[in-house]
Each structure stands twice: as C-alpha cells, then as structure tokens.
C-alpha cells in the first residue's frame, strides 16, 4: 500500500508522516485510511469492496504479528482470497 501512496499518488514520506500524526495511527492504519479516502473519490464501488475486506485482513495480520496462536487453515485461505481481491482492486484503480 505504501507503493500506491508514494509512487502512484505521489505522496512524499514527509506528507505521509504528517498525515500519520494527524490521524493518530500507525503506518498500516494510515495507509489504509489514505487509500480509502482516495478510492472513494475515484470509484465508490472499489471503496466499498476495499472497506469490506480490509478489516478482516488487518485483524488476522495483527493476530499473526502479536500472538503465538496458530491461524486455522480456513482463516488463512480467507486472508489469501481477501488480499488477492484487494491487490486486484488496487491494480485496477492505480495503473
């Protein structure tokens, strides 16, 4: 997602850091919000799809990062499917 922000939306690191401070979020949360703000202007349907799938994917990433509990296969498959969908959506909207 940072690639989209820096390369496709031409945001600078300084601008990103300022937005991150304004939004009181970490890197992932800020990137998700900024892309969401841009997507809603570009393509409302893409925004809705992004917003539908990103929370579950974010939750699973946080569990994987901060827990020693194994991720069940069905949840990991859901995450792969969601990440593929988000990747395609971003590719279609940020060529």
Instruction: Report helix, strand or coil for 45.
Output: helix
Residue 12 lies in domain: 2-93
Eight-state DSSP code of residue 24:
T
Q: What is the pTM of this model?
A: 0.84
Give residue 21's pLDDT. Answer: 96
- What are the pLDDT digits (tens) for 18-41? 999 999 999 999 999 999 999 999
User: What letter does residue 7 receive in the DSSP assignment?
Assistant: I
Q: In angstroms, rounded to a whole number, what is the distance separating the alpha carbons of residues 7 and 90?
A: 13
Question: d(Cα 69, Cα 21) in Å, to the nearest integer?
Answer: 32
- Segment 60-93, tens digit of pLDDT: 888 888 888 888 899 888 888 999 999 999 999 9
**Quick check: 13 and 6 in contact, CB under 8 A?**
yes
**57 neighbors 83 (Cβ within 8 angstroms):** yes
Q: What's the structural domain count of the chain?
A: 1
């Amino acid at each position: 997602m940072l690639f989209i922000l820096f390369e496709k939306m031409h945001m600078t690191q300084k601008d990103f850091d300022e937005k991150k401070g304004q939004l009181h979020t970490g890197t992932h949360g800020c990137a998700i919000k900024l892309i969401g703000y841009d997507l809603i202007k570009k393509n409302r349907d893409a925004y809705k799809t992004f917003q539908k799938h990103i929370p579950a994917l974010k939750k699973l990433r946080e569990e994987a990062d901060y827990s020693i509990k194994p991720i069940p296969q069905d949840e990991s498959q859901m995450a792969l499917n969601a990440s593929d969908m988000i990747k395609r959506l971003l590719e279609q909207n940020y060529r």
